[in-house]
């Protein structure tokens, strides 16, 4: 709290580029669109940083990211999304504890495919929470919905995801 | 589908419970309830598994092409005037050692600044900025002498920087940046103590520029 400095752009690119990419990839399953989104977001961040006043940086950044994503969706009219696992290399994910064995045998492609079946509103909140790691407050800020709505979307989203994985179509 | 239809409303709180997002009162209710309600205990385990699956999805690397070249055009004037925040100055300096584009831009800015400062009938304000009197745009040609002086001094600085970088650490500029990023990491961990996961991500990012 003591040092609420405005991050410089290179710092943002370095620290958040990967998070933004993972956010986009988990929402779309499309690596090319996701890479494009990272570029677009970083450009917008760069323009916006001059006007950024210290506050909730996460909220600010993810609002920009989300808007860029939505603009992109509108522009492309969303191509069909294809889950693919080729470059799903696990990096830095913690090794599963014994009671996570069941989940650890899940292929990440299954989870990705299940994610893509969620309605976008739910998928978005789940990804911001579980992939990006935002708090409910930050998600509320980024998506511009009440915290109570964040809470129920995450809850319902996870339940739907679990159902899809338990009873695959 | 498989969703358990819950009679008790407590089931609705279980995701927030897992995320550490309950109020104190809610937390109390949930903990107590989980002592006795088998349905909710089962639900809790399923939700926890779903959450774990999501949180252990592999972190994908950003394709290189997605990270654009980074330049400091916007900071160069402040750099010239010595007005950059202390932490930022070495970052920009280190960048210029490697970036001809920004170096050239710095020369141009310096030339422009010199020209403006050399305008006749100007009041030099205490803060170092200058304002033209009556919009008389007497364009003063850029002075070569000044430019080459700056070029030489930057070149010398660049050389010094290279030497110090190569002698101390081959990844020189990264070190400066990490000072920054560490500050942000600290800030972030204050803001979202619940998100262990994001801390892990950050740690990876920092160690793996
Ligand atoms: Zn219950
Ligand atoms: Zn540059």
Q: Confirm whether pTM is higher than 0.80.
A: no
Is any Cβ of chain B less than 8 angstroms from the Cβ of A141?
Answer: no
- Write out the H or E segment, with its range, that includes residue B155: helix B144-168
Q: Across the 209 residues of chain B, what is the mean pLDDT of every consecutive 10-residue run?
A: 61 96 96 94 94 92 74 81 80 76 87 87 58 43 46 55 45 38 36 34 39
Q: What are phi and psi of B123, to 5 degrees?
A: -95, 120
pLDDT (0 to 100) of residue A144: 94
Which is more confidently placed, A120 or A101? A120
* The pairing of beta strand B130-131 with beta strand B123-124: antiparallel
Q: Which residues pair with B24 in a beta bridge?
A: none
Q: Where are the domains of chain B?
A: 9-55, 66-119
pLDDT (0 to 100) of residue A118: 96
pLDDT (0 to 100) of residue B24: 96
- Write out the H or E segment, with its range, that includes residue B130: strand B130-131
**Are the beta carbons of B45 and B15 closer than 8 angstroms?**
no
**Are the beta carbons of B205 and A14 closer than 8 angstroms?**
yes
CB nearest to B201's CB, from A9, A31, A133: A133
Which is more confidently placed, A65 or A3? A65
B32 Cα to the center of ligand 1, angstroms = 10
Structural domain boundaries, residue A132: 97-164
SS3 of residue A54 by DSSP: coil
The rounded percent of chain A whose pLDDT value lies above 70 is 77
Which is more confidently placed, A156 or A93? A156
Which of A56, A84, A112 marks a domain boundary? A84
For residues A45 and A113, state if they share a domain: no
- Write out the H or E segment, with its range, that includes residue B124: strand B123-124
B contacts of A13 (beta carbons < 8 Å)? 67-68, 70
For residues A60 and A120, state if they share a domain: no
In a domain, A4, yes or no: yes
For residues A35 and A68, state if they share a domain: yes
Q: Name the band, by pLDDT with cuts 50, 70 and 90, for residue A120.
A: very high
CATH label of the domain that carries residue A119: 1.10.10.10
For residues A124 and A76, state if they share a domain: no
For residues A48 and A111, state if they share a domain: no
Which of A55, A84, A113 marks a domain boundary? A84
For residues A61 and A121, state if they share a domain: no
pLDDT (0 to 100) of residue A48: 86
A159 vs B47: CB contact, 8 Å cut-off? yes
Q: For residue range A139-152, list pLDDT tens digits in order.
A: 999 999 999 999 99
In a domain, A91, yes or no: no
For residues A105 and A52, state if they share a domain: no
Q: State yes or no: pLDDT of A124 exceeds 60.
A: yes
Residue A77 to residues A25, A110, A113, B114: CA-CA distances in angstroms?
17, 25, 20, 51
For residues A65 and A116, state if they share a domain: no
Q: What is chain A's mean pLDDT, rounded?
A: 81
pLDDT (0 to 100) of residue B156: 56
pLDDT (0 to 100) of residue B170: 40
| Residue B69 CA from chain centroid, whole number | 15
Number of structural domains chain A divides into: 2
B contacts of A21 (beta carbons < 8 Å)? 60-63, 66
B contacts of A61 (beta carbons < 8 Å)? none
A87 vs B60: CB contact, 8 Å cut-off? yes
The total number of residues written for chain A in this structure: 169
Which is more confidently placed, A94 or B203? A94
For residues A101 and A62, state if they share a domain: no
Q: For residue range A17-72, list pLDDT tens digits in order.
A: 999 999 999 999 999 999 999 989 998 998 888 778 777 788 889 999 999 999 98
CATH label of the domain that carries residue A71: 1.10.1740.10
For residues A49 and A121, state if they share a domain: no
Residue A10 to residues A31, A45, B92: CA-CA distances in angstroms?
22, 10, 10
For residues A72 and A9, state if they share a domain: yes
Taking the CA of residue A157 and the nearest CA in chain B, the distance in Å comes to 10
pLDDT (0 to 100) of residue A125: 97
Q: State yes or no: pLDDT of A10 exceeds 70.
A: yes
């Amino acid at each position: 709290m003591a040092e609420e400095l405005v991050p410089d752009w290179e710092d943002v690119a370095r620290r958040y580029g990967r998070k933004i990419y993972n956010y986009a990839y988990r929402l779309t399953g499309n690596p090319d669109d996701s890479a494009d989104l990272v570029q677009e977001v970083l450009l917008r961040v760069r323009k916006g940083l001059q006007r950024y006043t210290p506050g909730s940086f996460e909220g600010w950044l993810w609002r920009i990211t989300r808007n860029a994503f939505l603009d992109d969706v509108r522009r492309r009219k969303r191509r069909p999304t294809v889950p693919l696992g080729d470059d799903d290399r696990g990096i830095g994910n913690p090794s599963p504890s014994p009671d996570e064995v069941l989940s650890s045998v899940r292929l990440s492609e299954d989870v990705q495919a299940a994610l893509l079946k969620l309605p976008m509103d739910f998928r978005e909140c789940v990804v911001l929470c579980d992939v990006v790691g935002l708090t409910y407050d930050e998600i509320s800020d980024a998506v511009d919905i009440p915290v109570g709505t964040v809470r129920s979307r995450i809850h319902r989203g996870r339940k739907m995801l679990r159902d899809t994985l338990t009873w695959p179509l | 589908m498989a969703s358990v239809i819950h009679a008790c409303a407590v089931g609705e709180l279980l995701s927030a419970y897992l995320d550490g997002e309950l109020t104190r009162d809610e937390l109390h209710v949930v903990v107590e309830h989980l002592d006795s309600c088998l349905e909710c205990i089962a639900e809790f385990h399923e939700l926890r598994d779903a959450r774990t699956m999501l949180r252990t999805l592999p972190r994908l690397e950003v394709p290189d092409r997605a990270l654009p070249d980074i330049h400091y055009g916007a900071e160069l004037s402040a750099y010239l005037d010595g007005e950059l925040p202390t932490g930022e100055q070495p970052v920009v300096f280190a960048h210029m050692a490697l970036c001809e584009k920004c170096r050239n831009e710095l020369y141009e800015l310096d030339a422009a600044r010199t020209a403006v400062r050399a305008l006749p009938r100007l009041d030099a304000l205490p803060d170092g900025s200058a304002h033209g009197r009556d919009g008389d745009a007497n364009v003063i040609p850029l002075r070569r002498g000044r430019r080459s002086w700056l070029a030489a001094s930057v070149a010398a600085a660049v050389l010094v920087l290279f030497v110090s970088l190569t002698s101390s650490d081959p990844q020189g500029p990264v070190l400066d940046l990490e000072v920054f990023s560490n500050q942000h990491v600290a800030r972030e961990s204050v803001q979202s103590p619940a998100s262990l996961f994001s801390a892990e991500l950050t740690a990876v990012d920092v160690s793996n520029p």
